[in-house]
Chains A and B, each alone.
Chain A
Amino acid sequence: MSLQTMIQELAAGMLVSVKIFVCTLVFSLPLGMVLCFGRMSKWWPVRILTKFYISVMRGTPLMLQLLVVYFGPFFIFGIKITPGYRLTATYIGFAINYAAYFAEIFRAGIESIPVGQYEAAKILGYSRGQTFLHIILPQMVKRVLPPVTNETITLVKDTSLAFALAVTEMFTTAKQIVAAESSMVPFIIAALFYYVFNLLVAMVSEALEKKLSYYR
């Protein structure tokens, strides 16, 4: 197999990896915010429930969670699983797992805002919603950017776990070519793909940080 074909096949796999990456971010960030609210809720049953959810999601392997999401509908509800469900299950598994991590990052961000900000907003007559949306959230976003970037970089590499559901993302392709061609080159190309992708993630994060550096 020529180098060019290898790169082409790996690039096709990379497209799947990127899809998993984008879908995970799109769903887990808002879901993380919802979980964060639940975790900080004034109703204790909601608080306990979200705390338990987060603890399970963080305390068990993502690969296991992917398998549960994929096989669960059949074993629990007797629904027939179609191969087309594999990619969807991957998206769901990643999203609900990463949301748990994001929830805790968001909570740390919100709790790091001085109580004086809430008090000032209250005295000035802002509603609770206005206070969160206009005073707390913008400051929180700035503070959570570095840990969110960390998670995002981990996510890029974690996409390789989709092989557990036989989704042919980039790393699965790399392993197949390595086995077929008895060559290390696909691994090197795969490493480069991940590295460059993460370089881009870091660059975007840096640009965002710079954009938010107009205040301290």
Chain B
Amino acid sequence: MEQLRTIGRELAMGSQGGWGQSKEFLDLVKSIGEARSKAEEDRIIARELEHLKRRLADPDVPRRKMKELLLRLVYAEMLGHDASFGHIHAVKMTHDESLPLKRTGYLAVALFLDERHDLVILVVNTIQKDLRSDNYLVVCAALSAACRLIGEEAIPAVLPQVVELLAHPKEAVRKKAVMALHRFYQRSPSSVSHLVSNFRKRLCDNDPGVMGATLCPLYDLILEEPNSYKDLVVSFVNILKQVAERRLPTSYDYHQMPAPFIQIKLLKILAVLGSGDKQASGHMYTVLGDIFRKGDTASNIGNAILYECICCISSIFPNPKMLEAAAETTSKFLKSDSHNLKYMGIDALGRLIKINPDIAEEHQLAVIDCLEDPDDTLKRKTFELLYKMTKSTNVEVIVDRMIEYMINITDHHYKTEIASRCVELAEQFAPSNQWFIQTMNKVFEHAGDLVNIRVAHNLMRLIAEGFGEEDEGADSQLRSSAVDSYLRIVGEPKLPSSFLQIICWVLGEYGTADGKYSAPYIIGKLCDVAEAHLTDDTVKIFAFEIALGRKIDMLPECQTLVDELSASHSTDLQQRAYELQALLGLDKHAVESVMPTDASCEDIEVDRNLSFLNSYVQQALENGAAPYIPESERSGVISVGSYRSQEQQEASAHTLRFEAYEMPKPSLALATSQASMSTPPADLVPIPEPGYYKEDHQISRSQPSGDAVSGEFGVKLRLDGVQKKWGKPTYSSSTPSSSASSQQATNGGSHSDGGGSTSSQVRESSYGSKRQQGTEISAEKQRLAASLFGSAPAKADRKAQASRKTAKESPSTEKATASSSAPQPVKEQVTPAAPPPDLLDLGDEPVSSSPPSADPFSQLEGLLGPASSTPVVSGTPATSSSKAPDLMSIFSDDVPTGATSGSTDPTLGDVNLMSSLKGATGVAAKKGPSLQDALQKDATARQVGVTPTGNNPNLFKDLLG
């Protein structure tokens, strides 16, 4: 409250005492408050703890003093210091006869211990005894402690007493007993399953407080299994009605609202029970309509109830009238100045568009405002909404926005989430591959280390395989545009490593494909990359390998790089450097066959790697080299080498090495036997580096995994491949095929492991220079709104394409109808538990209980009357008339009966809202024409058939796998 004052002043007051605490405690708090540093504070508390330890063990301390000592201990623990030595004293104090001491003991125990703590056993006994106490306060304290401390094993010990307490004369005790049972249910549903009927019984408790408390466990039970509680729908509706009609004692009013918390809980329960159940929902419409009509938008709690109503309506079987009322309230929320209400409005809108996507259009400007709000929570909520309403027509705008926002997030958890959402939307709705690649670039650039490594693979594969159609030209165009963009980006400092890997791969593979860039240029770039990222071995290897893969004629600078790398600390790099040098020693033809140009898109990656190796292997074998390296030696070399080379990647090294140790015994034996004969032949290989064997082994092994891109991550693969069982020596280069299936699983698993650790290893790059200008003029907002909600001018030419596509949200109404048509056994009997007179008395009802379909609607119409009577601004009719059929069709789909009344009203409301949007604020009026434009365009687009109705041709379905 406002009366809370600053600490300094109160400290001065506090030193004079008056809080019923001792001088010592006051001094302690004061000195902590005045402590200059954390270290000083720690010293003070350490001293205090020493003191407490002595005093608590002292038998001569007065018991009242003991209470304070214990509280000081609790205080010390709250500040983050270990007070475990005092836990036993807290347990002891629960045994005390005196009420304040006992309560303090329980308080401390509940704060110190959890149900798994060893000392809890000592407390269970006390709780058992105290539950039988005559003093209801003792019982309450015991129940509170039971909620906290009784674990699954201890439940049977106290359960009988708790059940007895359900009939206690004091309502406070009954309430707590209900809660304790609820808690037991949460801990272990099976142990109290036979007592569920008790909750139903308590629903009819004479005390509304107890009834309200019972709703909590019932809500959980109903969530679990709604069908066995359908019989309670009528009771719940009756209770809600009576609460809403102020039949409860006024002491339950809160800010002039009758028992709002009970209302909210009931609405939550009804939402669950009415979901997909037409008959149950039918009972609810009247009372929901009542609540809407009485709704108080001035107070916070009134809005809470209205919001809960909207949630309920969006969850139960849809009713056009109700939806309309909900939409009305939602728009009130959105137009409110309060951020809290806007937040609720956005959330409500997100629920309503699931039923009727068109509702969002009325609120486009409000949504845009929320998107630009300084409030981060609101922004996130709005992005969630946009995510829900993304379709192929607006995906570009939404994803662009998301990325722009993502750049500035510092919270890792959320950044990961939004990055994966961007990827998901882009993969699902991308209008073109080019856009997809650009979007992916942006995502990688800013959150490269946070996205799944699979996404990177998908991107590379997309570039390699193109559209999957016959159009080679488009493919190469795509590639060259990718190369262009990567060449632009590659010079930037601080790119995430997974993104760099993609860049290097694409540049290496396709950099020279269209002849625009010369090979030396590309190689130069790649060398730059390699040099710029000296600390990052993986990237270096990557860039290097690609460079070596591409070119035969060496540049001098490249040569120096190779020389440098061959002396590198990293054995991996060294090995590759030597490989390259060896390769250069070969004749041109061999190199050609080793590294065919653009082979990856034809036979997927595998071909490239395999041919590269096969030819080499063959060559080596022809020269009389040993066909393979014995496993024991291999594993030894590999694990040592990799360990040294990847000291930073400890995590990955550990995982992978762990797998290696799990190697089946037989293969080991086989391997060792072959170890002896391996060394001599190795000398016969033209370039006798042990690495060569490893390389052979690795790549040929990567072949069976069938993953195109996995070959690129050779570093990782090599480590996990030790499990491989090799057959007898053979000259054939395609040896591994037999073991393909056995390898696949392990390879795949550890491969992704490695990838994950790579990305996590690299530090997050805070790369937010390209932030867009935050401030936007209203016209721009307008445009944004149009592009988000309707069709933007830029998209007009894509109409034809769009018409093939569909929105992600298929009309959920259809679904609802389908589900409701399924026979739903609704028990219409009278509630088994007879309602108590004060709550469920249906005798004299002020509002006549006419069938729900007729009465509330007429009242609702009254509610909506003034709104719909506002004059329609000229210009809008055109839009509305074009829109009308659309809406009509939706509503007629929605509810076959009563279509006449249902379809006309929404249209009116629609027109109305638009006009109010236009006329309400000065800004809106100014923006009027362009909004009109947008809407008209939208309307025409709809007529042409852009309205998303078909299925989106999932461009990347194959990629998503």
**Pairing of A with B:** no
Q: Which of B's residues lie within 8 Å of A, judged by CB?
A: none
Measuring CB to CB, which residues of chain A are less than 8 angstroms from any residue of chain B?
Answer: none
